[in-house]
Amino acid sequence: MTRLLSLTLVSVALASPVAAQQTLNIYNWSDYIAEDTITKFEEATGIKVVYDVYDSNEVLEAKLLAGSSGYDLVVPTSNFLQRQVKAGIYMPLDKAKIPNLGNLDPGLMKSAAAYDAGNAHSAIYLWGTTGIGYNIDKVAERLGDAAPTDSWSLVLDPANAAKLADCGISILDSAVEVMPGVLAWLGLPPDSTDPDDIEKAMAALTAIRPYVRYFHSSQYITDLANGEVCLSIGWSGDVFIAMDRAAEAGNGVNIGYTIPSEGTLQWFDMMAIPADAPHPDAAHAFINFVLQPEIIADITNYVFYPNAVPASKEMIDPEITGDPAIYPPQEVLDKLFPATVYDARTDRLINRLWTQVRTGQ
Ligand code: SPD
């Protein structure tokens, strides 16, 4: 009798929605999703999401290379994705399970295919540029009205950096995010892997090192917003999030974002499923969910990064779609350069020199 009762309880439990619930483990960039995206997905699918964040490709890559990360869906940038695909880290997407792939802009997917042939393992989540966020008033106070706010000189010229040191300069904590812009400013090819060029770029960064308050890839959002730093080499949407937070706080901090005229990186962050993902079906369902125009429009409206779903554009705040610093016009797009894929030797050189830059040696 007792056995029968417990068997009945087990079958009731298995049939209940909670027991049937699947899980989805997502690892995404910090500040990179709308407030309600996860709740909407859970309500639509009954899948429970566990959501973790990172702020650098290097951190994500280390976890994935160690294996058994437990993650079902990750969002590497396309140049990192390329070498990770080569290392066998991702499973090919089952495109039949993602009909909304058809919503993606064919031109942008073609650009992304340069890193993942046939877009076999990945779909564009959001894209953006690397540029300069700055406190308009503090920079004008220190550099005057002629401050070169349209150029990397604003921060890479040591004379300017010295004048901004007291109000705080921050730089992304990743050599490969920063170096292409520095190379372009030096008049060198932004995708150079020539050790001499790389040394020159690092020397330029070493020259401003005494004036840099910190290297970090997410703290600057809060610090720009509350006036704790006055210039950050950072990512487009993050700087706009800082502007939005400052405006909400009503603290009088006015922030600008510039895509330097010498050119900068245009990058794509890609949704991909690790080969050992415990819940690949749930991951496919999430990619399909996010690629609905209204869902990805909500995300762009919240984080100020452009997406690659053209049908979402009419649902995005016109102040965002009309802002050339977020959606750059063609003549600016033409000056952006794609993210470089570095071979292991160059990568080691860059990281060794970067450690010296960071530590000021
Ligand atoms: N807060 C989200 C930042 C996302 C940045 N992805 C950047 C990749 C640049 N290579």
Span 183-233, pLDDT tens digits: 999 999 999 999 999 999 999 999 999 999 999 999 999 999 999 999 999
Q: What is the mean pLDDT of residues 82-89?
A: 96
Which residue ranges make up each domain of the chain? 2-127+267-327, 129-265+336-359
32 Cβ inside 6 Å of ligand 1: yes
Q: How remote is the CA of residue 11 from the centroid of ligand 1, in Å?
A: 46
Q: What is the pLDDT of residue 17?
A: 42
Three-state SS for 264?
coil
Atom of ligand 1 nearest to the CA of 80: 10
Q: State how far Cα 225 lies from the chain centre.
A: 19
Residues in the chain: 361
Q: How remote is the CA of residue 127 from the centroid of ligand 1, in Å?
A: 8
Atom of ligand 1 nearest to the CA of 174: 10
Q: How remote is the CA of residue 80 from the centroid of ligand 1, in Å?
A: 12
Q: What is the mean pLDDT of residues 63-89?
A: 96
What distances in angstroms separate CA 185 from CA 128, 156, 317, 354, one per listed residue?
20, 8, 33, 18
304 Cβ inside 6 Å of ligand 1: no
Going by C-alpha positions, the residue among 161, 146, 168 that lies closest to residue 206 is 161
Q: How far apart are CA 70 and CA 161, in angstroms?
A: 43
Flag whether pLDDT at 172 surpasses 50.
yes
21 band by pLDDT with thresholds 50, 70 and 90: low
Q: How remote is the CA of residue 235 from the centroid of ligand 1, in Å?
A: 6
Atom of ligand 1 nearest to the CA of 79: 10
Q: For ligand 1, pick from 33, 59, 61, 77 the residue to mutate: most ligand atoms within 8 Å of CB.
A: 77
Q: How far apart are CA 353 and CA 199, in angstroms?
A: 8
- Least confident window among 3-17, 58-72, 229-243, 244-258: 3-17
Burial class (CB in 10 A: 0-12, 13-18, 19+), 43: exposed
DSSP symbols for 178-195: HHHHHHHHTTS-TT---H
235 Cβ inside 6 Å of ligand 1: yes
Q: What is the mean pLDDT of residues 229-239?
A: 98
| Distance between start and end Cα atoms, the chain | 76
Q: How far apart are CA 307 and CA 195, in angstroms?
A: 35
Q: For ligand 1, pick from 81, 267, 337 the residue to mutate: most ligand atoms within 8 Å of CB.
A: 267
Q: How far apart are CA 63 and CA 77, in angstroms?
A: 15
Q: How remote is the CA of residue 250 from the centroid of ligand 1, in Å?
A: 26
Alpha-carbon torsion 314, 319, 324, 325, what sign?
Answer: negative
Q: Which residues are paired to 135 by β-bridges?
A: 255
DSSP symbols for 134-148: EEHHHHHHHH-TT--
Q: What is the pLDDT of residue 3?
A: 41
361 band by pLDDT with thresholds 50, 70 and 90: confident
Q: For ligand 1, pick from 32, 171, 176, 271 the residue to mutate: most ligand atoms within 8 Å of CB.
A: 32
pTM of the full structure: 0.93
298 Cβ inside 6 Å of ligand 1: no
7 band by pLDDT with thresholds 50, 70 and 90: very low
Three-state SS for 214?
strand
Residue percentage of the chain with pLDDT more than 90: 92
More confident residue, 12 or 230: 230
What architecture does CATH give domain 129-265+336-359? 3-Layer(aba) Sandwich (3.40)
Which residue, judged by its Cα, is nearest atom 8 of ligand 1? 77
Flag whether pLDDT at 264 surpasses 70.
yes
Domains 2-127+267-327 and 129-265+336-359 share a fold: yes
- Work out the mean pLDDT of the chain and round it to a whole number: 93
6 band by pLDDT with thresholds 50, 70 and 90: very low
What architecture does CATH give domain 2-127+267-327? 3-Layer(aba) Sandwich (3.40)
6 Cβ inside 6 Å of ligand 1: no
177 Cβ inside 6 Å of ligand 1: yes
